[in-house]
A and B are shown apart, each in its own frame.
Chain A
Amino acid sequence: MEQERKEEILSAIHHCVKCKLCSISSFHPNAEWLPLCPSGQFYGYQAFYAPGRMEIFREILDGEITEPSEGLLKSAYACTLCGACYERCKQITSMELRLPELFEEMRAELVKKGWALDVHKNIADKIKETRNAYGEKYEYKAKSTDGNADVLYYIGCTARYRVPEIADAMLQIFDKLGIKYQVMDEEWCCGSVLLRTGQVEAAKELMEHNIEEIKMSGAKTVVFTCPGCLMTFERNYPDMGVELLHSTQLLTRLGSMKVKKLGLEVAYHDPCHLGRDLGIYDEPRAVLSTVADIKKMKREREEAWCCGSGGGVKSAYDEFALWSAEERLKEAKEAGAAALVSACPFCKRNLKEAADKEGKGTEVYDIVELVNRSLEG
């Protein structure tokens, strides 16, 4: 790490006074104690809260930690990078400590030292082999309706290979609304999982390929149903001169659609990358409210509880990921919702798995599934 960057990071670490208000949501005016840090809440040791994790990073940068340990790897990687700590710190102190980025850099430092998790290295290997994070054969059947369409739908690995109902729904929405679209013949993983797990170098080839493909497509707008992919394109890719939109932004822009209410009472779960990272809170709610009645949960928007699957946690610490999702499902139930709706394939997958495990009948959807269901074809 360059000395200048190291000093910047240390300076940020020195600015944390360890009040730990970053670990709970806003207390006043309702005086409710609502935890906000999944890893701290689950594991308990100070190492799993942002202030403690920063101290570990400090010792790495200062050369005091010279060997990997189980605790080091767990503290570094059993964090969903949800960014709730950063938002809370910013709200209260106005400090810009940018914690998720700091913790990504911590992981990148570990990777440079050869201390990556095996499970994350395996993902990198799978991507290298198959160009998707799940190591699947390229078999999701989607065809462009118009090879010269202005709109390109970037499907993403999770919607292609784990929750294809989201990709199906999005494509059907395009058809129902008469929007011509392209999909990439060779869509490669956006690189998010590699970047989030510190494997920065391994992401470069993927990014170059996708940039080239998108440029060649001539599309003016790239639409994503995956906020992780969208955030990666926004933050990590160079400006390609195209507009990047989440599906809910596109649907909001289209204005009134011929949809009918489905008679469902739902809670909306803010995906971390969509909400805290990209500031997209209103559009998903606007779209969802046209097809369902939204029940408010206690922790929403900037203070949403993470579903538990991001930042490489789902692949490495599934028990923790599912616990976090169960907490969210409980909250939706307490709000009186029969279904929990998100706008992210990764959230849906984890929440659905937790709901199925729990077996208490909370339905889990992505917004585009409900929109597709209610759209008159």
Chain B
Amino acid sequence: MYRKCNLLIISTILLLFYNDTICQSSIIYQPATTNYSYFPDNILIVRKRLDRDLKEIPNMMRKGIGKEYDIRARDLIQKLEAKEFMSDSIWLGFFNGILNEIYKGNPGIPRYEINMLIGRYEPANAFSIGEGSIVFHLGLLPYLSSESEIAAILCHELAHYQANHSNNFIKEYYDFLYSEEIQGRLKKISRSGYNKTARVMEIMKNMMYDNSRHGRYKELEADSLGLIYLKNTRYDSYSCLTALEKLDKIDSVTWPLIPYKTLFDAPQFPFNDAWLASSKSSVLLAQGSIIDDKWDTDSLKTHPDCINRIAAIKRQMGQPTTGRLNLLEGSPFEVFKQNSSYELVEGLMDANEYGRSLFRALVMLKEKPDDIYLKSAVGIALYQIYKHQKDHNLRYILSLPDPDFTEEYNRYLQFFNNLRLRDLSKMGYYYCFNQLEPYKTEEYPMLALALSQKMINQEEAFQQQKNIFLETFPNSKLIFYLK
């Protein structure tokens, strides 16, 4: 349906959305809507594609490869059922508008086989699943600067699909495992009585290095084909270089220091500096380090370094085209970019990932200290952390500090791990009361205020506020929080 929209209609909708968002963002951000029929429609598409793909597998390989296809499809269906993708027509219109521009310049791309999915996920990533779905993570948007950079990334993923990389990878994997040589070696190891693990590990190591090497080659191939696609559009082809340069720096992006004391100090319940104490639990970690000399991590990379990719693209590019950075009318890119951070907070809440949602909301509050939506999101997430801790389910929503996490995220985890339940309940209650009381007639603040009553066991006050909420917002998607 969205693929048939013409650019003008999309642009008009986007323009309206743009103005609407600007008006509302000065009051309270309104998250994107959920189109409930979008998900069953897409599940049907995935099932049809699975049937199509299974028929194309040669008989002798159907069992092994078919199983992999089936796992892949079921995983995607599960995510669609959990509504992990944006279904708002305005958001879909924005991405499909960019896709339409790519299709227009590249009629060879089988556009009706492609299904654009916008994942409500944090990691800055995009990928082609292999059966026709292209997934673009919301978490990638804040790092980009223009529509043409989105177009460059989509062209790369379309190239993966066109070259059938994903399906070829599965086939190569099975060809390797079932090859006479490998089966013979495995049989020999199985019969011997010693060092089995090390010997099988050697086979695994070679296989993984081999796969990684092929993976790197395929990335370069997709870059090359993706560039051809991009050059055929009216977008600026140089954007595939700027997008890669940004991707290269994503790992070094640091989160700002969250001012916990400023946020949670309340006259009724003063902040205790001891809550910020660092843990002794990483004493060993501070002194030890993982020794693993068996694996060459460079050889395991499936993507070549961005620097090498940039060099290869530069060689291929020759003279950059003089395309445009933004084509959609009203240039709504910046609004979508800005809103993507809000949508990530909302998406994480919808996915019950309250720990991450709270972290992102706290990070955003540093830039927007008066934002009522973010304050409400903090209040709702604080209640969820309280509830999960009380029920001994904290592990489902809050991680333990981990050396693989950023320093600021570990500081955040440590802070909430240090809080006793009784401190968390009072801190959460007074935060909501002091920050949201003036906005208690609005949807999100009203919910946060109602939940804060539960944190201090004021059941009667909670019931009262719950009833008011149900009367005021009978169709709110937030009602399930009150059940």
The answer to whether A and B come from one shared complex is no
Q: Which residues of A contact B (CB under 8 A)?
A: none
Q: Which residues of B contact A (CB under 8 A)?
A: none
